[in-house]
Structure 1
Amino acid sequence: MHNVPKHYKIVVMGVSGCGKSLIGDQLASYFGIPFYDADDFHSQSNVNKMAEGIPLNDEDRIGWLSDLAQLLSQETALVLGCSALKRRYRERLRRDEPNVVFIYLEGDFATIRKRLAGREDHYFKGDDMLQSQFAQLEPPSEDEAVTISIDQPPEMVLQGCLDALISSNASPASC
């Protein structure tokens, strides 16, 4: 475990298939703090909808975002893998917990589509759903998140995240 500020609350964000779970889990392990996958907080109706290849809408996400915001408020330190596609979603997650640091894993459609094609036993299916995520994505500004390109090996993505977090001491204002 490495020295980590007690307030470390990190959201690894991006479209499905960008590596949120992989990188988030590795960050959590590095810092010795819990990792949560936002997918685990979806209602059964949301999971069923996505399993049918139907993209979620804003209304589908209201309860989910509230549950995630509550998790961020309750935990002392954590890493959360969450799409957080829209600015208002990120604002909702940060509303009660202003020290949340967002790391945006940025990748293009072709790269992510290839990754998703190799997934097994996951409810996220189909190009329509991925296209929907890219259509809804409002990339965060520099003052809102650290942006890390996924067009590199996972260990380099992780190192980029660590470098950004450690050099800024995870202060949202300095990321």
Structure 2
Amino acid sequence: MTEAPKLVVMGVSGCGKSLIGSLLAQALGVPFFDADSYHSQANVEKMANGIPLTDADRAGWLADLATLIEAQEAGLVLACSALKRNYRDRLRAGNPGLRLVYLRGDFDTIWARHARRQDHYFNGQAMLESQFGSLEEPARDEAVITLDVEARPDTLVQQCLAQLGRAREDADG
């Protein structure tokens, strides 16, 4: 029996992490978690006031997420920005089989999505610009599946599942 995957669906705010992540989790039969739910109240208040988080702000949050990933023995999908390589390395600590699903999109596309959002604490164009400025796109050695956010959600899920299947075949064969 093949082990259930542990996936982090990553990218800047507004790229579709929660939607794609929840659809992937459903397709894979594993639980879905949204990293935003694990932010401290102080972090949420900073972001709501348009103040970008620092690495120090994220340290405890990343530690909690790494523990969550490790505890999910039957696999999971976690929606998490994971913008920097060192954040992803922290999530991977204790979770060597962790795979990344990077939802790549340009600023204008994602900003247009933000403009349609309501009741979300992530606040302002400067915050999104900050995320794009911090983003270190994943390298090939990070076990990454890169998807273009311009595609429809069902297409993105199918592309991801196909690539996961290929990775399993390579590991088995």
Structure 1 length-normalised TM = 0.92
Query: Structure 1 unaligned runs (5+)?
Result: none
Equivalent pairs counted in the alignment come to: 169
Give the 4+ runs in structure 1 shifted more than 4 A: none
- Structure 2 residue 161 is matched with structure 1 residue 162: yes
In the TM superposition, what is the alpha-carbon distance from 1:57 to its structure 2 partner? 0.8
Structure 2 match to 1:135: 133
- Could you say what secondary structure the match of 2:117 adopts? coil
Q: For residues 170 and 12 of structure 1, what CA distance do their matches in structure 2 show? A: 21
**CA gap 1:126/1:75 in 2 versus in 1, 3 angstroms:** same
Note if contact 1:105-1:150 (Cα within 8 Å) is conserved in structure 2. Answer: yes
Q: For residues 117 and 55 of structure 1, what CA distance do their matches in structure 2 show? A: 18
Pairing partner for 2:14 from 12, 17, 39: 17
Pairing partner for 1:47 from 37, 41, 44: 44
In the TM superposition, what is the alpha-carbon distance from 1:143 to its structure 2 partner? 2.3
- Structure 2 residue 84 is matched with structure 1 residue 91: no
Identity %: 54
- Could you say what secondary structure the match of 2:102 adopts? strand
Note if contact 1:13-1:85 (Cα within 8 Å) is conserved in structure 2. Answer: yes
In the TM superposition, what is the alpha-carbon distance from 1:170 to its structure 2 partner? 8.8
Deviations 1:102-161 (A, max 9, x none): 010000000000011111111001000000000000000122111111122222111111
- Could you say what secondary structure the match of 1:28 adopts? helix
Structure 1 match to 2:106: 108
Q: For residues 12 and 76 of structure 2, what CA distance do their matches in structure 1 show? A: 20
Structure 2 length-normalised TM = 0.94
**Superposition RMSD in Å:** 1.5
Structure 2 match to 1:66: 63
In the TM superposition, what is the alpha-carbon distance from 1:30 to its structure 2 partner? 0.5
